[in-house]
Amino acid sequence: MPEITEAELKKQIEKNNFAKLYFLYGEEKYMVEHYAQRLIAKASAEGLRDFNFQKFDGCEADMDSIAAAVEAMPVMAERKCVAVSDLDVGALRSTDAKKLEEILSDLPDTCVLVIYLLSFNFDEKRDKTWKKFLTTANKIGVTVPFRRLSQAQIEKFICACAEKRGCTITRQNAARMLSLCGTDLQTALNELEKLCAYTGSGEITAQTVDSMTVRNLEARVFDLSKAILAGASDRAYTILGQLFQQNEEPVSILAVLSGAYLDIYRVKASLQSGFSAQEPAKYFDYARKEFRLNNAAYEAKRFSTPMIRQSLDALLEADVALKSSRGDRRLVLEELLAKLIWIAEKEKIA
């Protein structure tokens, strides 16, 4: 059987039309776990799950135990389900790899084997071991890749989830929420759960999103970059102080701040070349981060290319200082802020 889509998997689960083997993987770990649990719930005999369901952690379980579970007959039911999470096929010893081949080649009709990856990904194009496994899995059962969703898809998903909870949220406010908490699906849904609980019913407003959504590091450093470029030194140093109070690593702060300036530089170059602000997304990884380019477009129009390059030089000097010195890392960032603010203000005066 070939690789199938999420929609096709959903139909199979709803109709109890199961293959012998399911392999669920991909970047969207929330979706992987969600559908693995749905498969397990439907493929295990209702009311007799204690007898007809066995779960193994692929990092610890041995192949003989998995084989015994697969071969065991279901109790007073048509089938049983065996689930294996995080089975690292690429790291198996030769004896275990051979045993896995034997298990898959002789799966009984009375068992649904669900293998799913929650803790890691693999390169399905370059890793020969995984390529071979995918080929085998597609012959015996089905594979379901959960690719990274675009921001637009996540926004739509957030809107649909809000409706199921008795609330509504506009696409604009869904995007607003994602710009604050990030585009990790599980994190976004946790934030939505909180917003729905606070709202109760009806529309989740922009004010609610702004006041209730927990800002991730990227969002807080974006606020820092805005304060720097606006010349708001008091606010910039206040935000930096808050980041240190929350035990954020200086290297991480600098990395995100450097990323914000790189966004501006890329957008500036794109606009000067006659392209749109979204052009850099074709060449760099902005999947689910398209809003960063829109944010950078405003700053790119305000500042010159030499100013942005000078700022990037200051960021590089700070990066070298952080990674090569044993001195006060906070002082390095405080001095960096002073330089960046001075560079931005100097251009305004000129």
* Residue 89: DSSP 8-state: G
Q: What angle do CA 206, 208, 210 make, to 5 degrees?
A: 70
**Alpha helix segments (H runs only) across the chain:** 6-14, 29-43, 49-52, 63-71, 94-105, 128-140, 151-164, 171-181, 185-199, 206-212, 217-229, 233-245, 250-272, 290-302, 305-324, 329-349
Domains of the chain, CATH where assigned: 6-145 (3.40.50.300), 151-212 (1.10.8.60), 217-349 (1.20.272.10)
Provide the whole-model pTM: 0.74
Burial zone of 183 (CB within 10 Å; 0-12 exposed, 13-18 middle, 19+ buried): buried
pLDDT tier for residue 323 given thresholds of 50, 70 and 90: confident
Average pLDDT, the chain: 91
Q: What is the CA radius of gyration of the chain?
A: 25
CA distances (Å), origin 12, targets 6, 85, 181, 231, 304: 10, 21, 34, 58, 56
pLDDT, tens only, 93-126: 999 999 999 999 999 999 999 999 998 899 888 8
DSSP line for 124-149: TTT-HHHHHHHHHHHHHSEEEE-PPP
Determine the average pLDDT of the residues in 258-273: 95
Phi, psi of 114 (to 5 degrees): -115, 115
pLDDT, tens only, 159-174: 999 999 999 999 999 9
- Amino acid identity for residue 322 in this structure: L
Six token digits for residue 189 = 């849904």
Q: Pick 182 or 99 by higher pLDDT.
A: 99
